[in-house]
Amino acid sequence: MNHLSALYLGSRFFLGLAVVSTLSAIGFWYPGAFWLSTVLLGVLLLLVVYDTYLLHSAAKSLTATRQPPPVFSLGDEMQVHLSLHNAGSHDLWLTLIDELPEQLQRRDHHISVSIAAGAMLTTSYGLRPTQRGVHSFGALQLFLRSALGLVERRVAVPLAQSVAVYPSIVQMKQFAARGHETVRTGGRRRPRPVAKSYEFDQIKDYVRGDDLRSVNWKASARRGELMVNTYVVERAQRIYCVIDKSRSMLMPFAGLSLLDYAINASLAVSNVVLRRDDRAGLITFSDKLGDVLTADSKPDQLRRILETLYRQQEREGESDYDLLYYATRRFLPARSMLLLFTNFESNNALDRVLPVLRRIGRNHALVVILFQNTEITELLEPPAASIEEVYRKSTARRYVQERELMAARLRQNGIQVVLTRPEDLTGATISKYLELKGRGSI
């Protein structure tokens, strides 16, 4: 019964059956046609039995394997390879249906191929995962047909596999070259700002121009002349990607949420930061404080950032910016650049958090990264052809102006802003980092 349930009659069988039925009907007027239809029916049934036997033998001699990439890259199309080997003596025509991970929600996936006797064949298809986490493949379903094409046999090849979907490693590699990009500063080179760390170096004699705040009064009293403390010059600057995981970051664009766009951008930016010999760190927050990864430049720092970004989960609550301010005071003792990925739904929402952002901006170089709604901006492009479209375009224009007003208000309060489309987020963020680094604003 198991073998019979895997068999399906093909379109050629029903075409032959239609011919037999037609001749049988004509036999009411021409008896010879009836006898011909009887013979053809017998031949058709014999061919079906023979075709079934061929497919039964072919199923034993056909092998298949699946080769997905070691990990998938979030939001990027990657290829899954299927290898087939027909060790039998008959050519085969196949329809391949792979049992894809349920997160992809694809119901129309199939591949049609043919493979000669004794040949090997490799084919592939692309997948674009839009959710992080483990994606599980099931069996590979093969629907076999011979040259007769009267019967189709289903063969399930057990190929259960699990592949993790990580933040976009492909995008990270695409922007890696910007880690060696020359920082432009208006046509002239600007000396790198000298920042002090809290690591003591030595005590030396005071000379004109030394910072009076570093005078060591005890040493000066003992020596009878001014002495100043010196500190180790800190060349590696601290760059933190700060990700808002609240409800406002769940809005989807092209299958990815704003949170996932921010996660992909954070990985690429961190890679560029480390390539420029700065220190990369990470902070996530919502209504609760999430992960805090201290900025560092150790060889395994990028891997730690990748693993931290991989396990981030969105939350339905509102963002607590007072909690973010506490985190910057508690975990960031030295001045750093904070790249804050967030989304304000209205100017009223911005009003509630603007005082906190100003406080953070006093101690750190704060860059607020806002998103443009590309679906709304696209409504402004075609000319209005009806009164309804005029109202729709007017609403879209008000939304765009409100986003621009948010950016202007943040700049008026001394906060750097990046206003960009989600798909341009990574490039725009890296450009802002390089710009501020070139201006010595970190």
The torsion angles phi and psi of 373, rounded to 5 degrees, stand at: -85, 100
Q: Which CATH superfamily is domain 170-189+236-439 in?
A: von Willebrand factor, type A domain (3.40.50.410)
CA atoms within 13 A on the CB side of 177: 2
Low-confidence ranges of the chain (pLDDT < 50): 1, 186-198
Q: Which CATH superfamily is domain 1-166 in?
A: Immunoglobulins (2.60.40.10)
| Whole-number pLDDT of residue 280 | 95
| Whole-number pLDDT of residue 116 | 93
* pLDDT tens for each residue of 257-266: 999 999 999 9
| Whole-number pLDDT of residue 331 | 93
Report whether 142 contacts 50 (CB < 8 A). no
| Whole-number pLDDT of residue 98 | 93
| Whole-number pLDDT of residue 438 | 81
Measure the CA–CA gap between 367 and 415, rounded to whole angstroms: 6
| Whole-number pLDDT of residue 253 | 86
User: How would you classify the pairing of strands 72-73 and 161-166?
Assistant: parallel
| Whole-number pLDDT of residue 379 | 63
Domain regions of the chain by residue span: 1-166, 170-189+236-439, 196-234
| Whole-number pLDDT of residue 378 | 66
pLDDT, averaged across the chain: 87
| Whole-number pLDDT of residue 193 | 45
Q: Residue 330 corresponds to which tokens in the numbers above?
A: 């508690």
Measure the CA–CA gap between 322 and 360, rounded to whole angstroms: 10
Buried b (16+ CB within 10 A) or exposed e, 182-204: ebeeeeeeeeeeebbeeeeeeee
* pLDDT tens for each residue of 215-233: 888 888 888 888 888 765 5
The torsion angles phi and psi of 191, rounded to 5 degrees, stand at: -60, 145
| Whole-number pLDDT of residue 4 | 67
Measure the CA–CA gap between 85 and 91, rounded to whole angstroms: 11
